[in-house]
Structure 1
Amino acid sequence: MRQIATVVDIAATPARVWEVLTDLPHYSDWNPFIREASGEVAPGARLRLRTFPARGRPVTFRPRIRTAVPQRELSWMGRLVLPGLFDGLHRFVLTDLDGGGTRVVQDERFTGVLVPALAKAVARTTEDFDALNRALRKRCEAVRV
């Protein structure tokens, strides 16, 4: 098992952050890592996500939503071919900060027999999470017209 986590503080309400995170059709407008996203954000629903790692080839996968608690947590489980080979539980946890703003923890827990073989790729994913976090902050803090 391997886990990576990143944190970003955003000068926007949890409602605004949730709005941006769950607006899948507009990921291509702001998200450098997950540039294509579609599906319904509801527990049990399947998404279609296409990631563009900074150091790697694009990957399309179809994770299933595990948690969708508005303004609190969004998570999905993705798998490589079969359960137990290479599974990733991806989460965005939103915390309302005292005095305004939102802390977003983005993490992923990788399990399965291929995790040791893919350890370097997993470690590099932290860079992609950081890029997503910076873009999410910029998008959420932008003045809407």
Structure 2
Amino acid sequence: MALRRIETEIDIEAPAERVWALLTDFAQMPSWNPFIRSVSGEATNGARLTILVSPPGKRAMRFTPTVLSVRPNRELRWLGHLFVKGLFDGEHYFLLEPRNERATRFVQGENFSGLLVGPLSGALPATRMGFEAMNVALKQLAEAPDRVQ
């Protein structure tokens, strides 16, 4: 079974609580996120989400992952499958690492596994670009001067 990983990170001059609040405000996500265009459902362990992602230069994809972990201000993780389990699975994660009271390292990544990871790996560079675009947009929003400190 093929395995691939994408991981990106960015330092954000905002407390983890603010970054978490923006990340988990699914209703507002389409207004700022160029990669994850919509999320519906609740960020609770075991919940099913409906997510629309739009990697740069690729067709948008909708999938329904299961939330694996919710640790407020620290981690959000879900697992999705393309068609059936084991074909092309993606475990997506967001990690918030407080640097101090006013700064957070934001890590976004995904572990891909399954029979089709090799043949579909050509789409992974666009996915990485989508992660990076989202990271920058989240940083800009979290650091915006009109945000409450």
TM range (shorter): over 0.9
1:22-80: CA deviation from partner (whole Å, max 9, x where unpaired): 00011111000011111100010011111111121011111111111000000100110
Match of 1:100 among 99, 102, 109: 102
Name the TM-score, length of structure 1 as normaliser. Answer: 0.96
Counterpart for residue 138 of structure 1: 140
Q: Tell me the number of residue pairs that the alignment of Structure 1 and Structure 2 aligns.
A: 145
1:62-107: CA deviation from partner (whole Å, max 9, x where unpaired): 1111111000000100110110000000000110103630001101
Counterpart for residue 127 of structure 2: 125
Shift of 1:17: 0.5
4+ residue stretches of structure 1 with deviation over 6 A?
A: none
Paired residues of 2:90 and 2:113 also in contact (CA < 8 A): yes
Structure 1, unaligned stretches of length 5 or more? none
Query: Alignment partner of 2:11: what SS?
Result: strand
2:83 alignment partner AA:
V
Using the alignment, how far apart are the partners of 1:98 and 1:19 within structure 2? 17
Match of 2:30 among 28, 31, 47: 28
Structure 2, unaligned stretches of length 5 or more? none
Name the TM-score, length of structure 2 as normaliser. Answer: 0.94
Match of 2:87 among 75, 85, 88: 85
Using the alignment, how far apart are the partners of 1:133 and 1:14 within structure 2? 14
Query: Alignment partner of 1:25: what SS?
Result: coil
